[in-house]
Structure 1
Amino acid sequence: MTLRHLCFGIFAALVLSACKVQVTVPTSGSVTTVSGAIDCAAGQVCDVDVTDIYFDETFVAQPAPGFEFIGWKETHRGFCGGNTTPCRLNTAGFEGNETLTAILEDPQQEFYLEPAFRSTGFKSLFMGHSFFRPFAEAMPFHAAQAGIPNHEQTVVFAGGSNGAPEALWDNTEKRVQIQAVLDAGDIDLFVMTYHPDYPGLRGYRLWLDYALAQNPDTRFVVALPWAFQPGQTPTAQYASDWHTGHASVIHPGIDILRGQYPGTDIFCIPYGHAAIRLRELFDAGQLDDVDFLASGSGDAIFSDTFGHADDILVDLGSLVWLQALYGVDLDSYAWDPGYNTDLKAIAAEIMQAHDADFDAPYH
């Protein structure tokens, strides 16, 4: 054995002697051990006590139907990060090691184990307005490009405030159209948007009630766009208003819905942040891919003064959707948007900045 391997072995032995291993499981699978002694169900956080030097368990990630295990997450003080095989944690054979014993006796020692699961493709229903539709329509391309084989979708559109969940429910023709899709009982993912003319939760509740009655395993998403007429508000104020609404309206609303629908996945896509970041870069002279804030010629962030998305905003926002819905690692995503600006890096930064409590809990 080389010195390098010996040092690594000693370090691993010490780390494995922690008093507690916290196993965090997404809602898309479970973690068990080969011995059957430990069973951590979907959505649970399980604390495993390691109290002696004879602990020997092999942890196995079990994906739920429609998901695949893509490896153990790489986290601070995490075990087996980056590996895709069962994770064996073993303290056996170190009797008499004083350093090891001291770690075992230290109640502050805690280490982590967390699997990553990825959907093989959701059967999805997307409904919303014109600030929402282009991103929904981009998903089949991006899902296929990312190697997600079973993505299917239906998109229902209504312009302006008519695309808000409550307005779509109150529109008999649209409601019947959407209910017909839900009635099949096989919608895995139901994505809705937001419009300030309907700030309350009534529409979301009505759709959740109906969808869950057809399929109790449906997951729900609130996709938050940017504000309209961006040119009428200074950039700093425009950004501040969006972030304030995101944190004080959308996230609290999701928390309320989670309390009313326990056990149901409800989360947020902050794709409106894409418009904010592009505008900030444009104002700073750091966005040479466009010439105007708003223009109908395809060389702007917005295609008109009302604020509809031009190509670069659609491409950036679609990357945010892709990571939010499917957990795709954008650093390795094999697609070149074709801009000088690194849109994949910006999209990853947007998702990194998003409050993780409101990300998809199944990743």
Structure 2
Amino acid sequence: MHPKIQLRRRGLRATVWTLATALAVAAGLAGVVLWQHSYAMDERRVSIRHGGHTLNGVLATPKDGRKRHGLVVYVHGDGPVDATHDDGYKPLWEANAKAGYASLSWDKPGVAGAPGNWLDQSMDDRADETAAAIAWARARPDIDGGRIGLWGASQAGWVLPKVAAKTPVSFVIAVSPAVNWLRQGRYNLLAELHADGASASRISAAIAKSDTTRRLLERHATYEEYAKAMNGDLDGMTADRWRFVSENYTADATRDLDALRGVPVLLALAGHDLNVDTADTERVYREVLDAGGGLTAKRYPDATHSFLKHSIERSDLKVALTALFSPRSLFADGFLDGQRQFLEELGRGGGATP
């Protein structure tokens, strides 16, 4: 055989083997991704009527063969959040399913094609919306109306107790909830500046700008007045957002928390929270709820405000790869198991029911 032909055949075989290996690796990785994103629950789209329009939701139920389940109703934090939080809720829903609980969540108004605009909502509006979803769930034959509770993060801290004041709930899972809008905003501002290593002059300028914003809110200034006072440095503040902040900046959950007395509450607090002063949150929750004996506070040292591991959230690449290949590993150690165990303990009669 001619040496050149022999070399070509060897080269062809090497290319074929390389391609075959690459395809096998790709197929293996695809299999890992599919397996990691297969959750032990059934999901279905649902529609909930409220206030003349429809809430577009997802109901995730356990695959345990039972005809009726308890339910965890999700209350989003700030921002344009869809029903699954870009699939970020699914590991939490799976933890609920393992404890025998279904999960219900819906797109915020104006998100993922839903009607309305979430920036038009007050915290009371959001509480009314959640109460309507609970009423819808109680009418379903597959939901145990006596075992319906709430899960909420961050901004939901102003919504959760308002819901409990409107309709009975069996439990609450509060994830780094805010208590006072203005205190939370100042804490967030300073925490982020210190994390960035800001100079003293930059910190002073930011505080002065924040104080100006607060004075404008207190005198019910228009967006145009705000824009003029900021000399065009709007820092992402839109007219819709200004209206939303103007409507809600006086929010304070302290008094509303009375509605949770006697209700089992799991308070999850992050160790690396730049958004919410978790020490202040824990202090207020203990002052209001400890006497009733229903509060369980748990701290997660490596958690960020989003309850991702701090070691992962610091790198966008780590977040993307972990979300793709091991989404459950995104969350702080013990967070998913802690939520599941809390729900299982309720099932064993470990918490008071209002």
Task: Report the TM-score range of the alignment, normalised by the length of the smaller protein.
Answer: 0.3 to 0.5
TM-score (norm 2): 0.36
Ranked by relative contact order (alpha carbons within 8 Å, sequence separation 6 or more), the top structure is: 2
- Larger % of helix: which? 2
